[in-house]
Chains A and B, each alone.
Chain A
Amino acid sequence: MQTINIKLTINNKKYEMDVDIRKSLMDLLREMGFTSVKQGCGVGECGACTVLVDDVSVDSCLYLAVWANNKAIRTAEGECKDGRLSPVQEAYVEEGAVQCGFCTPGLIMATTSFLEKNKGKKLSREEVKKGHAGNLCRCTGYQTIINAAITAGKK
């Protein structure tokens, strides 16, 4: 088994470890207990595994764990600070954008990066849709998710 030593932060906490080169970042995070990171398709189609790497959204199923070396990873677990939900998480609750919840952590991270990128901009529904095109949801029909992103953008 080939391993590489990596240093990274996950939700602001530092880690150092030897990782198997065959692992995806999704595998690694789930093994470490960050189970908000979901495996849906495993091939970059559904976005359930979305995390932020240096504040950029990526499908962690298509991202080698070793690439996380010297990077800062954010997952949905870390968005909630001191027991308080982030504005994005709050907006998902308020707008009823969560049904079975499987897609939710990935979508929360997609919305978070989308809003951080477009800070201060007035966003159309069309732009919000484009910004979330990498995430599938089998339950909600998306309207409540778009509402949540728009609501969170105003917070």
Chain B
Amino acid sequence: MFPIEKYHYASSVDDAIQALAADEKSKIIAGGTDVLVRLHEGDTEYGCLVDINGLNKLKEIRIDDDGNIYIGSLATCTEIMEHEIIRKHLPMLVESLATIGGPQVRNTATMGGNICNGAVSADSGCAALVHEFDLVIEGREGERMESINGFHTGPGRTILNHSDLLKYFLVRPEQYEGFSGSYIKYAMRGAMDIATIGCGAMLRMDGQYIDTLKLAFAVAAPTPIRCPNAEKAAEKQIPTDETLEAIADAVEEDVKPRTSWRATKEFRLHIIRTLAKRVTKQAVENQGGAC
């Protein structure tokens, strides 16, 4: 049995926020694939739960007339991956969610959880960063919007206040229209593994030139990150081997990999260079170009 001391099943967003505010020890439980693992290990920090699974509105995925896409924070990885709107407009998000766990985990894990638990290795983090997701959050002072840029502040840390609840992600049409993307996860196993390095790119061509490259990494720094130097190196360049090499050189300025039991810093840097080139090339090809 899980060592849960206190449990509140939230009946509305407001109710959830009040319950969070009422007890500083309380934590949100969504899909449970992280929280229940912690509890199974006896981690008493997770003993007071506010369960948001009854908030059906937060499961919604939809698009409005202007092309803004809304992804509810409680939508599971599988629900997002299989959704027509997402498959059509955000294929790179589909690719990255597909690398999470196995089917059973994806069937319960939520993207809201993947982003809010602040994991350095969040597979959906790269897609969120390159598509510049906005996060619509409800807190004690009402609703506010935050950008994914700057949302993660360190390993396991985000800008969220204790009684904040992420309601949905918002993706604007200018963040996906005309772009092609690619995500590659490097891990020791082909499935059910945590990324050693995750890398996602989104790219738009202008004739034979790269108009815009957006590049993001997971596990390459204390938070998922964007790579301004590498992106700049790609700008207005013809995608040749030299350009890819220049992107790989520039990306070294963007990342801060470290040594862990999974891989050494040097090996991570090697993968980072390789993946930066590979996802860029793949994204160019996905746009019908050649490298």
Q: Are A114 and B103 in contact (CB under 8 A)?
A: yes
Complex CA–CA separation, A132 to B191 (angstroms): 10
Name the distance in Å between B27's Cβ and chain A's nearest Cβ. 14
A43 touches B108 (CB 8 A): no
Flag whether A12 is at the interface (Cβ < 8 A).
no
Within B1-49, the residues touching A (CB, 8 Å) are: 1-4, 6-7, 9, 32-33, 36-37, 40-41
* Interface flags, B88-116, vs A, CB<8A=1, else 0: 00000000000001111101100000000
B2 touches A24 (CB 8 A): yes
Residue B192 is within 8 A (CB to CB) of chain A in the complex: yes
Per-position binary interface string of chain A over residues 68-101, scored 1 when its CB falls under 8 Å from any chain B CB and 0 otherwise? 0000000000000000000000000000000000
Judged by DSSP, the binding face of A is mixed
Interface centre among A42, A56, A110, A114 (most CB of B within 10 A): A56
Evaluate contact between A23 and B1: CB separation under 8 angstroms.
yes
Q: Sorted from nearest, which 9 A-B pairs have the closest CB atoms?
A: A134-B102, A133-B191, A133-B102, A134-B104, A22-B1, A21-B7, A59-B104, A62-B36, A43-B37
B237 located at the interface, meaning its Cβ lies under 8 Å from any Cβ of chain A in the complex: no
- On whether the beta carbons of B1 and A27 are closer than 8 Å, the reply is yes
Complex interface: chain A residues within 8 A of B36 (CB): 24, 44, 61-64
Between A and B, 8 residue pairs with Cβ closer than 8 Å are: A45-B192, A57-B104, A59-B108, A62-B32, A63-B108, A133-B190, A133-B191, A134-B101
User: How many whole Å from B26's CB to the nearest CB in chain A?
Assistant: 14
Chain A residues, CB < 8 A from B32: 62-64
A131 at the interface (CB under 8 A from B): yes
Please tell me if B68 contacts chain A, counting CB pairs below 8 Å. no
CA distance A61 to B78 in the complex (A): 19
Q: Cβ of A58 and Cβ of B9 under 8 Å apart?
A: no
Which residues of chain B in 171-197 are interfacial with respect to chain A, using CB atoms and an 8 Å cutoff? 190-192
New contact pairs (16) apart from A63-B36, A133-B103, A134-B105, CB-CB < 8 Å: A4-B9, A21-B7, A24-B2, A43-B40, A43-B41, A44-B33, A44-B36, A44-B37, A44-B104, A50-B104, A62-B108, A64-B32, A64-B51, A66-B51, A113-B103, A114-B103
Q: Which of A22, A43, A64 has the most CB of B within 10 A?
A: A64
A113 contacts across to B, CB distance below 8 A? 103
Which of chain A's residues have a CB closer than 8 A to the CB of B107? 56-58
> A135 at interface (Cβ–Cβ under 8 A)?
yes
Interface centre among B7, B41, B103 (most CB of A within 10 A): B103
CB closest residue in chain A, given B189: A133
Chain A residues near B158 (CB-CB < 8 A): none
Q: Does B149 contact A (CB under 8 A)?
A: no
- Across-interface contacts of B190 in A (CB, < 8 A): 133
A123 CA to B204 CA, complexed, in Å: 34
Least CB distance from B54 to A in Å reads 9
| Given A43-B37, A64-B32, A133-B192, A59 and B4 contact (CB-CB distance below 8 Å) | no
Assembled-state Cα–Cα distance A135/B101 (Å): 11
Assess the B103–A131 pair: CB atoms within 8 A: yes
- B117 adjacent to chain A (CB < 8 Å): no
Q: In the complex, A67 Cα to B102 Cα: how many Å?
A: 20
